[in-house]
């Protein structure tokens, strides 16, 4: 009896040890392979859903796009925090919540063609590309246009078309657009962008100089209506707009 009891104890101890080891292995795998998955879930839950963004397609895209790939390597562990980050050339990748808010307010449909002014890192374009058919994006700083085009291609975002140029002029050859998103701040909306907005189209833009207001325009029967959404802070729009 005593020997059986001893053996039972040994078996129980071994079983506990095996469970502990396999449990550890599972935890380690999760930590090793998926720190960014965990960070993205936390970001979406605490920064985006908690602030009222509920559109499933926006949430799905924010969960899928690997934001840490769009920031400099040295900053990758900060990519899911609640603020913008520098991306070089004096420019920034927007705060995740602002990306989600602007995308949400555009009320995108899967068949939409979207124009973005200010490609920057390419992150906003990647988010859009998971929601709509075609994304056209223009960046005035050539090295940023080149690096984000290469990155988007490498990551498989094949429906994003990147152009180096002044977004003031829009992309007339592929207009009209169902939605236009401006991610740099002009003092007034460039007229070519209004002209390139389709009937029933939406245009979102941080409008202003030192103080900016995120503003949503809708074109209906050729008439624009305007809705102010939130105070924001973006880098200023450069190029032709500066001469206006």
Among 96, 120, 201, 206, binds ligand SAH (CB under 6 A): 120
- 52: left (phi > 0), else alpha (psi -120 to 50), else beta? left
Number of residues that bind ligand SAH (CB under 6 A): 24
Does the footprint of ligand SAH cover residue 135 (CB under 6 A)? no
Q: Are 146 and 171 in contact (CB under 8 A)?
A: no
Q: Is 94 a catalytic residue?
A: yes
Q: Which stretch binds ligand SAH (CB under 6 A): 1-9, 25-33, 120-128, 205-213?
A: 120-128
Binds ligand SAH (CB under 6 A): choice among 115, 140, 205, 232: 140
Indicate whether 184 belongs to the interface with ligand SAH (CB under 6 A).
yes
Of 32-40, 47-55, 161-169, 224-232, the segment contacting ligand SAH by CB under 6 A is 161-169
User: Of 46, 94, 129, 148, which one is the catalytic site residue?
Assistant: 94
Q: Does 144 bind ligand SAH (CB under 6 A)?
A: yes
Decide the pairing of beta strands 134-139 and 160-164: parallel
Using CB under 6 A as the binding rule, whether residue 103 contacts ligand SAH is answered as no
Q: What is the Cα–Cα distance from 94 to 92, expressed in whole angstroms?
A: 6
Q: What is the DSSP string of 31-49?
A: HHH-HHHHHHHHHIIIIIG
Burial class (CB in 10 A: 0-12, 13-18, 19+), 238: middle
User: Residues with Cβ < 8 Å from 198, sequence gap 6 or more?
Assistant: 176, 177, 178, 219
Cα separation, 179 vs 137, in Å, equals 12
Nearer to ligand SAH, 125 or 178 (CB): 125
72 forms part of the interface with ligand SAH (CB under 6 A): no
Q: Residue 140 CB, nearest distance to ligand SAH (Å)?
A: 4
CA distance 42 to 23: 23
Task: Determine contact, residues 115/181, Cβ cutoff 8 Å.
Answer: yes
Q: Based on the shown chain and the rule CB under 6 A, indicate whether residue 196 belongs to the binding site for ligand SAH.
A: no
Question: What is the closest distance, in whole angstroms, from the C-beta atom of residue 177 to ligand SAH in the complex?
Answer: 15
Q: Does 123 bind ligand SAH (CB under 6 A)?
A: yes
Q: Which of 166, 216, 219, 230 binds ligand SAH (CB under 6 A)?
A: 166
- Measured between alpha carbons, how far is 162 from 234 in angstroms, rounded to an integer? 21
Binding segment (CB under 6 A) for ligand SAH, from list 6-14, 17-25, 118-126, 204-212: 118-126
Alpha helix positions (H), the chain: 2-33, 35-43, 56-64, 96-105, 123-129, 142-154, 191-195
As annotated, the active-site residues are 94
Tell me which residues touch ligand SAH (CB under 6 A).
91-94, 117-118, 120-121, 123-124, 138-141, 144, 166-168, 183-184, 235, 237-239
């Amino acid at each position: 009896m005593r020997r059986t009891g001893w053996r039972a104890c040994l078996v129980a101890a071994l079983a506990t040890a095996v469970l502990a080891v396999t449990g550890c292995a599972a935890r380690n795998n999760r930590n090793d392979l998926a720190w960014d998955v965990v960070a993205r879930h936390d970001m979406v839950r605490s920064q985006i859903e908690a602030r009222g963004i509920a559109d499933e397609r926006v949430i799905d895209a924010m969960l899928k796009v690997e934001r840490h790939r769009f920031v400099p390597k040295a900053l990758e562990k900060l990519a899911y925090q609640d603020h913008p980050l520098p991306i070089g050339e004096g420019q920034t990748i927007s705060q995740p919540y602002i990306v989600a808010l602007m995308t949400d307010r555009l009320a995108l449909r899967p068949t939409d063609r979207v124009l973005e002014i200010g490609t920057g890192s390419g992150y906003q374009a990647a988010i859009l590309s998971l929601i709509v058919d075609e994304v056209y994006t223009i960046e005035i700083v050539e090295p940023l246009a080149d690096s984000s085009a290469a990155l988007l291609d490498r990551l498989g975002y094949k429906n994003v078309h990147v152009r180096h140029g002044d977004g003031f002029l829009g992309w007339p050859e592929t207009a009209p657009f169902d939605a236009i998103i401006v991610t740099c701040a002009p003092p007034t909306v460039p007229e070519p962008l209004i002209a390139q907005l389709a009937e029933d189209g939406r245009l979102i833009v941080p409008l202003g100089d030192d103080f900016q207001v995120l503003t949503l325009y809708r074109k209906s029967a050729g008439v624009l209506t305007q809705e102010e959404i939130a105070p924001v802070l973006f880098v200023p729009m450069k190029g032709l707009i500066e001469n206006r």
